[in-house]
Amino acid sequence: MSDAPLPHESGPAAGTPRVVPATGIQLRDVDQDALRVLSRLQRNGHEAYLVGGCVRDLLLGRKPKDFDVATAAHPRQIKRLFRNGRIIGRRFRLVHVVYGPHVVETATFRADPVAPENGSDEEPGDLLITEDNVYGSAAQDARRRDFTVNALFYDPSAGEILDYVDGLPDIEAGILRTIGDPPVRFAEDPVRILRAIKFATRLGFRIEENTWQAMCSHAHALSRSAAPRVAEEILRLLRSGTVLGAFRMLRASGALATLFPEIDAYLGRRDDPDPAAHDRADLYWRLLEALDADIHAGAEPTPAVLLAVLFLRVVEHKSEAGGGPAAALAADLIEPLATSARLPRRAVEGAKRIIAMQHRFTQPWTQSPRRVLFLHSEDFPEALHLFRLRSAAWGQGWDVYEGWLERHRHAREMPESELAGLRRRGRRRGGRRRRRGARADSPSADAADGSDLAG
Ligand code: ATP
Ligand code: MG
C-alpha cells in the first residue's frame, strides 16, 4: 500500500470526477429535508450535492449523523431560495435551512486556501491554516477535505456518486487515507490526526501507511492546534464506544505524549521489561474498556465523568505513591485544561470532585448525617457512575456499588424537611470543627471541594 500513487497524482485529470452509479444507496435512507434543499437548488440551476460524512456512511450502510449539502450557489443566492434559510458564521458563511427542529447545513463550495503545488518536493513551510474562506469549484471543494472517504459527492436525483479523490476504492477496501500529501495535510491542521483516529476506530478502517507515518511525525504539532478543537475531539473519542482502540492509536502515534504527557508517562514504555509496568498500563486500558462497554449498553456519561475516566488512574497512582491527596493531584492535572482548552468549568470542577470522592464509596456505611448528605449531594450520581466504571474495570466493588445504588434510591424518598434539618446540623458540626482548627470536613464543605481525603 505504501507505494500506491497519491490520489492527486493519478486517476482522472484534476477537475474531472469519476462518476459512478450510486447503486449501494437506498433513497429512503436519505433525509427528506436535505433532498428538498438539493432539488430546489438544482431546479434553480445551481450545482448541488450531498457531501462528506453522510455519503461515506450511506455507502457503508451506516446511519448518517447529519446530511450536509454543498453547492455552487453563494450564501446570498441560497438565502434567496429559502425563506427558512439563515446565514451563519463569520469567518466562513454558510446557510442553515431550518425545518422545525431540523437543520440542513448548506455550504458553498470552497477552495483550499493553501493549495500546495503538485509535485513540489520542497519542505513545506508554515502551513497551519488560519483562514478558510475562499469559494471554489466542486473539484476544489473535494480536494480541500481531509480524507478520501470524506470527499465523495452524491447527487440523489441523478443517482450518481462523483469521486474527485479516488475515495470509492478506499471505501470498498476500508482504508483511511489523506487527500494529497499526508505531511502537508497534517501540517495544515494537526487536529486531522485526531480525526483520522476517530474515523479509523469508528469505521474499523486501516490507516494507510503514508498517512500513518505522517500522523506520527506531526503528532508534536498538536500542541499548536486550538485547544478547544482538540478537547472537543478527545471528548468525542471518549464518547465513541471505541475509546480503547482510539487511545491505543493516540499513544502509538505520539499524540498522547503531546496532549497528555502525564497519562503517557503513567502508561510507561511499551518495551519496559518490568511486569509491574504492564499491570499498571493494563488498569488504565481496562477502565477505557469499561467505558466502551458502558456506552454500548446505552449509558451517556457526562463530560465530568468522561474527564474523570481520563485521569482517575493517574491521580490514584500518584496518590498511592505518596504524591499527596487525590483532590490536589486531580486539580493539578485537570485544571490546566479548563483554561487552555476552555472546557466547561462545570465539567472540570465536577471531574476533580468526583475523583476525590471515590474513596468514600469503600468506607463502611453508617447513618451519619455526613453520609446521608453525600447521597444527596449534587455530584453523587456522577461520582457513583465513575465508581461503577471502576468496579466493572477492575472487577471489584460490585456489591459495594449495588449497596450505594440501593441507598441512593431510598435517599430520594427522604422528605425535604428532614433533609434540610440534616443540612443545618451538618453545617453546625462543620463550623465547630473548623473553629477547633480541624480540617474542614463538614458535609457541605467536602461535598463541595472534595477536601475530605481520609481513607
Ligand atoms: P461525523 O459523522 O462524525 O459527523 P463527518 O465526516 O461528517 O463525520 P464532520 O466533522 O461533520 O465530519 O465534517 C464534515 C466534512 O467536512 C468531513 O466529512 C470532511 O469532508 C470535512 N472536514 C471536516 N473537518 C475537516 C478538516 N479539519 N480538514 C478538512 N476537511 C474537514
Ligand atoms: Mg458530520
Taking only the tens of pLDDT, the chain with its 455 residues reads 444 444 444 444 568 999 999 998 999 999 999 999 999 999 999 999 999 999 999 999 999 999 999 999 999 999 999 999 999 987 788 999 999 999 999 999 998 765 444 444 444 456 665 455 688 999 999 999 999 999 999 999 999 999 999 999 999 999 999 999 999 999 999 999 999 999 999 999 999 999 999 999 999 999 999 998 999 999 999 999 999 999 999 999 999 999 999 999 999 987 888 888 889 999 999 999 999 999 999 999 999 999 999 999 999 999 999 888 999 999 998 888 777 777 888 899 999 999 999 999 988 888 787 888 889 899 999 999 999 999 999 988 899 999 999 998 888 787 777 777 777 776 766 555 444 443 333 333 333 333 333 32
Topology of the domain comprising 7-176: Beta Polymerase; domain 2 (3.30.460)
Q: Would you state the pLDDT for residue 6? A: 44
Closest C-alpha residue for ligand 1 atom 10: 53
Question: How many whole angstroms separate alpha carbon 207 and alpha carbon 200?
Answer: 7
Task: At 63, list the grid cell.
Answer: 446511519
Ligand 2 center–CA 66 separation, angstroms? 6
- 70 within 8 A of 141, measured Cβ to Cβ: yes
Residues labelled as active-site residues: 66, 68, 146
Q: Given the DSSP bridges, would you call strands 153-155 and 134-135 parallel, antiparallel or unpaired? A: unpaired
Beta strands of 125-170 (E only): which ranges?
134-135, 153-155, 160-163
Closest C-alpha residue for ligand 1 atom 7: 53
Q: Which of 108, 132, 145 to mutate to test the pocket of ligand 1 (most atoms within 8 A of CB)?
A: 145
Identify residue 307 by its one-letter amino acid code.
L
In ligand 1, the atom with minimum distance to the C-alpha of 151 is 20
Smallest-distance ligand from the CA of 230: 1
State whether the Cα torsion 335-333-310-210 is positive or negative.
positive
Ligand 1 center–CA 56 separation, angstroms? 11
What are the residue boundaries of the structural domains of the chain, listed by start?
A: 7-176, 261-449
Q: Would you state the pLDDT for residue 272? A: 83
Question: How many whole angstroms separate alpha carbon 241 and alpha carbon 334?
Answer: 23
State whether the Cα torsion 157-163-167-169 is positive or negative.
positive
Q: What does the buried/exposed string (b/e) look like for 336-373 if buried means 16 or more CB atoms within 10 Å of the residue's CB?
A: ebbeebebeeebbbbbbbbbbbbebbeeeeeeebbbbb
Q: Give the 3-state secondary structure of residue 110.
A: strand
Ligand 2 center–CA 67 separation, angstroms? 7
In ligand 1, the atom with minimum distance to the C-alpha of 66 is 4
Give yes or no for residue 142 CB within 6 A of ligand 1. Answer: no
| pTM score above 0.85 | yes
Smallest-distance ligand from the CA of 225: 1
